[in-house]
């Protein structure tokens, strides 16, 4: 039987690496788009080349979603059955400083891929997956959020991604392209970027414990997120494209926790006993109550720092994934505690 061909924009990222593994195990030929960078940045997919069964079906191409001729040529040469657009400037905080670049990548990048499909794929055989996000709900009141909730993004990232959500739907309706959105809530893993809160907290606290860093600096501790595991969330991405009709799906766990809950859980799992105190200016800090590793009693282990607050914040994200459970038969199995456990275990190994 002829193998299916997938093209992944964003293969070097967290989700791209898990999705590539999933598709290769399902016997796809996977084309992945990597950017030209001054340093090699394929660490999340390098292990695939050590697996003799997987490596033969993985082909990497240089590309960038800000370059239409490149996107067009890739789609035209490869003629994939499925295209996954995971490419993005994906950091919400950074999007306030790189607003225009974020729009170029996260909005117009999507349009470029859809235009390439519209022009090249006259028979409408290609399927397109867009990595949408819970950030498009912003602080909208209708919680928990589902596919019918209002969109009120509050960051340049959320707004750029909302454009992509709508343009994907527009191209589906106007041109009959099989184009679907996965509205994914936060998902983490040992492969998460180091400047997102889960991985930053785990790496930071381990460094303090080992005496390689004095203190961990964080921003807003009160916001709540619905955190799942990336490995399970990429399965949903694939299932969305296997459904008989194109559609939009919320992918979440249905449970949420505050950033402070996350920090306290990491401290507990590493046996560090702390109490939280508050400065007169309102900023909080955590002091250790006993010696542990290189941490001394009364040492400040975590401190809030204004540098890590954002100009605007999404306060409380919780998703309702009942449509995905009903229609594509997807549900999460790994809970928050197990996710953090896995991330800490892997980080301790990395540390050694
Ligand atoms: P990630 O680790 O930051 O990966 C982003 C990927 O996009 C990387 O491979 C990156 O390449 C690539 N990229 C960035 N700019 C590009 C450009 N101009 N052209 C081509 N490729 C570009 O993100 P992730 O966590 O895997 O998330 C995957 C997608 O899902 C993103 O679109 C993100 O916005 C979205 N999303 C993520 C979450 C989440 O919680 N993880 C939730 C909802 C939606 P480099 O390696 O060269 O930087
Ligand atoms: O881990 P975060 O940076 O993730 P955020 O902003 O929720 O965005 C992630 O999830 C979205 C889905 O909802 C994706 F679309 C997006 O691509 C990305 O993957 O921050 C989580 C929370 C925020 O409230 C932030 O203000 O943690 C808070 N926080 C507090 N201190 C911090 C820090 N976030 C980061 N990155 N760094 C801090 O020092």
Q: For residue 1, what pLDDT is reported?
A: 80
Q: For residue 352, what pLDDT is reported?
A: 76
The answer to whether 154 touches 92, Cβ cutoff 8 Å, is no
Q: For residue 351, what pLDDT is reported?
A: 83
Q: Catalytic one among 21, 82, 102, 135?
A: 135
The answer to whether 136 touches 181, Cβ cutoff 8 Å, is no
* Burial (CB count within 10 angstroms: exposed 0-12, middle 13-18, buried 19+), residue 297: exposed
115 is catalytic: no
- Atom 28, ligand 1: which residue's CA is nearest? 86
What number of other Cβ atoms are within 10 A of residue 347's Cβ? 17
Confidence (pTM): 0.98
Rounded CA-CA distance 29/236 in Å is: 19
133 is catalytic: yes
- Atom 34, ligand 2: which residue's CA is nearest? 197
Burial of 126-163, coded b for 16+ CB within 10 Å and e otherwise, reads: bbbbbbbbbbbbbeeeeebbbeebebbbbbbbbbbbbb
For the residues 177-195, what does the mean pLDDT come to?
98
Q: Is the peptide bond before 120 cis (omega within 30 degrees of 0)?
A: no
Share of the chain above pLDDT 70, in %: 100
> How remote is the CA of residue 310 from the centroid of ligand 2, in Å?
10
User: pLDDT tens for residues 192-240?
Assistant: 999 999 999 999 999 999 999 999 999 999 999 999 999 999 999 999 9
For the residues 4-25, what does the mean pLDDT come to?
98
**Ligand located closest to 237 CA:** 1
- Of 183, 161, 179, 157, nearest in space to 170 by CA: 179
Q: Catalytic one among 133, 159, 201, 253?
A: 133
- Atom 40, ligand 1: which residue's CA is nearest? 186
For the residues 252-269, what does the mean pLDDT come to?
98
> How remote is the CA of residue 240 from the centroid of ligand 1, in Å?
18
Q: How confident is the model at residue 105 (pLDDT cuts 50, 70, 90)?
A: very high
> How remote is the CA of residue 120 from the centroid of ligand 2, in Å?
37
For the residues 307-331, what does the mean pLDDT come to?
98
- Helix axes 259-269 and 197-209, enclosed angle (nearest 10): 30
To the nearest whole number, what is the mean pLDDT of the chain? 97
> How remote is the CA of residue 197 from the centroid of ligand 2, in Å?
6
Please give all residues whose beta carbon lies within 6 A of any atom in ligand 1, as ranges.
9-10, 12-16, 33, 35, 37, 41, 64-66, 86-90, 105, 109, 131, 133, 184, 186-187, 193
- Dihedral pair phi/psi, residue 341, rounded to 5°: -55, -50
pLDDT of 182 strictly over 90: yes
């Amino acid at each position: 039987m002829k193998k299916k061909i997938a093209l992944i924009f964003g293969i070097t990222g967290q989700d791209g690496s898990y999705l590539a593994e999933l598709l290769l195990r399902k016997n796809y030929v996977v084309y992945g788009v990597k950017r030209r960078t001054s340093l090699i940045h394929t660490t999340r997919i390098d292990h695939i080349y050590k697996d003799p069964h997987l490596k033969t079906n993985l082909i990497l191409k240089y590309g960038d979603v800000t370059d239409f001729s490149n996107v067009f040529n890739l789609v035209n040469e490869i003629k994939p059955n499925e295209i996954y657009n995971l490419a993005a400037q994906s950091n919400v905080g950074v999007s306030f400083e790189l607003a225009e670049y974020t729009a170029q990548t996260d909005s117009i990048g999507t349009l470029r891929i859809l235009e390439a499909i519209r022009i090249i794929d006259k028979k409408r055989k290609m399927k397109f997956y867009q990595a949408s996000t819970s950030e498009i709900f912003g602080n909208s009141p209708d919680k928990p959020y589902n596919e019918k909730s209002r969109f009120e993004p509050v960051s340049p990232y959320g707004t750029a991604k909302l454009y992509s959500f709508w343009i994907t739907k527009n191209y589906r309706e106007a041109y009959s392209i099989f184009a679907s959105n996965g509205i994914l809530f936060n998902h983490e893993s040992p492969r998460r970027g180091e400047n997102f809160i889960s991985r930053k907290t785990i790496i930071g606290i381990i460094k303090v414990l080992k005496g390689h860093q004095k203190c961990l600096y964080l921003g807003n501790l009160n916001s709540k997120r619905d955190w799942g595991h990336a490995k399970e969330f990429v399965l949903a991405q694939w299932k969305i494209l296997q459904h008989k009709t194109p559609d939009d799906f919320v992918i979440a766990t249905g449970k949420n926790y505050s950033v402070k809950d996350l920090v306290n859980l990491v401290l507990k799992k590493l046996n560090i006993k702390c109490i939280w105190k508050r400065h007169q200016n309102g900023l909080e800090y955590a002091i250790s109550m006993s010696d542990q590793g290189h941490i001394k009693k009364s040492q400040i282990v975590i401190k809030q720092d204004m540098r890590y607050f954002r100009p605007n914040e999404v306060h409380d994200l919780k998703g309702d994934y009942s449509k995905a459970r009903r229609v594509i038969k997807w549900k999460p199995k790994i809970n928050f505690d197990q996710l953090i456990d896995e991330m800490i275990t892997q980080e301790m190994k990395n540390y050694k």
